Amino acid sequence: MPIFKPAPAIQNKLIFTSDNPTFTNKNLSVKEISKMLDFYTDVFSSETQLSKWYSSVYDSSALLYVPMQYAYDTQNNELINKFQKLFTYNTLLIVKKNSQADDLAKRTFYFTVSEYLRRSGIKGNAENTKMYDFIKSEVLYYWNKNPANIWDAESKKFYGVKQRIDYILSGNFNGNLSYYRAITDFELYVMGTGVSLLLIEKEAKQTITPDLVSIKDRFYQVLKKEVSIKDNKAWYLQPNIWRDHPDFQDVALEKSQSVNWDASHFSRMSAYLHLLKLNFQDDKIKYSYLGKLTTLLSNQLITNIAVYDSRSSIYTFNNYIDGNNSSFRSDIKDGKKGIQPSQNFEHIFIGWWKMLNTKEVDTMYERIENKFPYYAEQSAYITHDKGFFQEIVNLK
């Protein structure tokens, strides 16, 4: 791997350089992570198996992202070998053919597999090169040709994520409801995969694909033009953009507050910032700005989302990235309550926040590690795979 320049001293821990990985402790138990990899290897072994567990397309993408980063950061050969068995060209074909997993699930899967290819490398590896070509083809189709409207009532038809992103960045009217111009996971995963693929090309010293450069630059522009920084302590992507959306109708706001992203979905921004910083190592101004967003997001996590009680040594978790703790995804019309206050927290245990790679986040996870049995009791989801989530929390 190339030796990138050290990160500017914007905080008390250098980040995102190949000689200073996110994870360094090679002596941690990964027994349950290894079992999870075995499970998913079986699930993705055939179209028949995947049809029984089609939610695995989405779930595995989220659950295995951080273990994969740990495996390659620490060169854990046991885990690396299992990732190599799981992520194959045949796996990609099986996922693409599956009609039960929805389009967003497949976009998330391509992102995680692209990250596997970035970490394992494609140079001199025919299998990985085929996988890279496959994912790049999918991403470029999403970027340039695939119908890209998220809602039917948007003001015009978009073909390719690029068209929709450019229209949003132009500030043009896109329909009567605020969220018609929202940037969503459908765009973010495509752009995230694009910046991952671009790093693969740089690493392999291949001819750079212009569309991937375009994706990288658009992603940066999104984070410049659509971000609001508040009091130099926090930042919000398209604040108030969701105010008209049904999922957010019972968000209680104080005076001057906006409706912001929920914490779970926004946890993925930790990975996107990581990749963008790697892509902009040679641009001091852009790199510094991305570093600032990283620092502020780390601060938001430990002040707005994860609230620590020093008396009990326990965290409570707010549902939104600005500290709002209203219900999330309620359906008032149908009387559904959605996710109740302080219940949108499983994302903490999936671990993507670790990619922020700050001492403050490390401290949060160390405290959670010390009280893990308590947190496991608060969620049936965590209890079901308690050993796995315990190991995720412990990764450092």
317 pairs with which residues across the strands? 306
pLDDT in tens, 33-75: 999 999 999 999 999 999 999 999 999 999 999 999 999 999 9
Residues 7 and 4: their CA atoms lie apart, in Å, by 9
Task: Look at residue 2 in the predicted model and tell me its pLDDT.
Answer: 33
Q: Report residue 253's pLDDT band, with 50, 70 and 90 as the boundaries.
A: confident
Q: Report residue 332's pLDDT band, with 50, 70 and 90 as the boundaries.
A: low
Model pTM score? 0.93
Summary mean pLDDT of the chain: 93
Q: Report residue 7's pLDDT band, with 50, 70 and 90 as the boundaries.
A: very low
**Residue 27 CB coordination number (10 Å):** 5
Task: Look at residue 132 in the predicted model and tell me its pLDDT.
Answer: 99
Instruction: Taking residues 260-285, report their average pLDDT.
Output: 97
**Residue 341 or residue 127, greater confidence:** 127
pLDDT at 18 > cutoff 90: no
Task: Look at residue 339 in the predicted model and tell me its pLDDT.
Answer: 86
**Residue 265 or residue 333, greater confidence:** 265
Task: Look at residue 331 in the predicted model and tell me its pLDDT.
Answer: 62
Residue type for 332, please? I
Task: Look at residue 330 in the predicted model and tell me its pLDDT.
Answer: 63
H helix count then E strand count, the chain = 19, 4
Q: Report residue 4's pLDDT band, with 50, 70 and 90 as the boundaries.
A: very low
Distance of CA 181 to the CA centre of its chain: 21
* H-state helical runs in 121-257: 126-144, 161-170, 185-203, 210-225
Q: Report residue 334's pLDDT band, with 50, 70 and 90 as the boundaries.
A: low
**Residue 78 or residue 249, greater confidence:** 78
Residue type for 313, please? S
Return the DSSP state at 11: S
Residue 38 and residue 85 in contact, taking contact as beta carbons nearer than 8 Å: no
Q: Report residue 250's pLDDT band, with 50, 70 and 90 as the boundaries.
A: confident
Domain boundaries, the chain: 31-394
Instruction: Taking residues 112-141, report their average pLDDT.
Output: 98
Residues 106 and 126: their CA atoms lie apart, in Å, by 23
**Residue 326 or residue 385, greater confidence:** 385
Instruction: Taking residues 215-221, report their average pLDDT.
Output: 99
Residue 324 and residue 262 in contact, taking contact as beta carbons nearer than 8 Å: no
End-to-end CA distance of the chain: 21
- Which tokens sit at 158? 């978009």
Task: Look at residue 312 in the predicted model and tell me its pLDDT.
Answer: 97
